[in-house]
Structure 1
């Protein structure tokens, strides 16, 4: 009582500062509140159920691969890497946008087209909107296949962007094919934005249409900004711009769609039940 003694590093003082308590050992585990783990762990809560947890899982897994796509742009490229850069980017982002489109169609049908006795109700309960994902992804695979057959990406050397240096880059091959692939993504994004706009005034708490709408707006803004900047740069800066666009658009989709839900699940669990509708 007359002399204070500091607790050892593996312990801490209680509130009265009369005893040393053992610190709890903690580290990052699979049970920590990461987004995908959070949705799986709370799959039976209303906000996860109302936002179609199966499509949410597909979207989250696809976004993980979208983030990983940026790794193909780093390091010394070879022929296989040059092909994988564009193919993985095109296919996984198509899967992401088509999943967003499927979620948006489901939201609109759930709120507007489910009056008793209507045939469209059966279409919704059968999961038919989910067919948008394989159909759109298959179209993208066909487009990428045509690109690879006609004029695939290849290793190129840029000797003009930096004095006295040769920059090894991946040439897109057919610029027409590259813009067709990007244009296809933009058309899917436009379709998602249009459908989400129709559902903008539906009930907010368990309706994600506004979040989907805003996420597609962020995605489109990133890639619309990407094109003029991409064509005005050369060498390694061109690759940096593409990597930044990949990461920024993926982060925009992840944050806009899933952050509000994680906020309800983790921070405001008192609002995560049906009676709050």
Structure 2
């Protein structure tokens, strides 16, 4: 971790903030990107002397490029890029509007795509690098109906991540592409969801942002493809896809 330059989007709170602070303590050089300048600078102040805050809206391609440019101008390289920015929704499928779908894709998919496409030429020129996309268990098992379009967006993110990994595997084996899949995390995610929603901090067995950040930090040091933030999540995914009727509600006797 020592001296690794790690770009983290969505770094003003939650998982992104916890990860920046942890990497800073471990000797990394975090580059923090988010829209909220006061909160971002507070997190940067807690993330070590070399932390670099960059105020940016990562749903704008030009802002994502500016984050990369700032990181390269300060440090000369980027070792890891973490696409962590995201937003939930509280809408059933029958209630979704065009604007709902557009917002979920813009924040959860396009922002990550912009990050992948921005940093990829730099990684290719170096022959190494690590892309980490923070997805969700709901991107594997869409078990919460009112998160409908969020679930769909995270499924799309998972597919793009897997396809980029395949694209790079032969010609650029030194570039790692990873997906991280947390379950519920005790953050402001619920409050910030489009349409409001339940308080994520009150969900039973929700992980802390610090627990998820520790999993991501370990992934930075030991890259691999797909990572679940709790061991039991993998078994839940296997059981779901082994079911004869995916997502079917329990039958009443």
State the TM-score, normalizing by the size of structure 1: 0.27
Higher strand share: 2
Name the larger-Rg structure. 1
Pick the structure with more helix per residue.
1
Greater RCO, 1 or 2 (C-alpha within 8 Å, sep 6+):
1
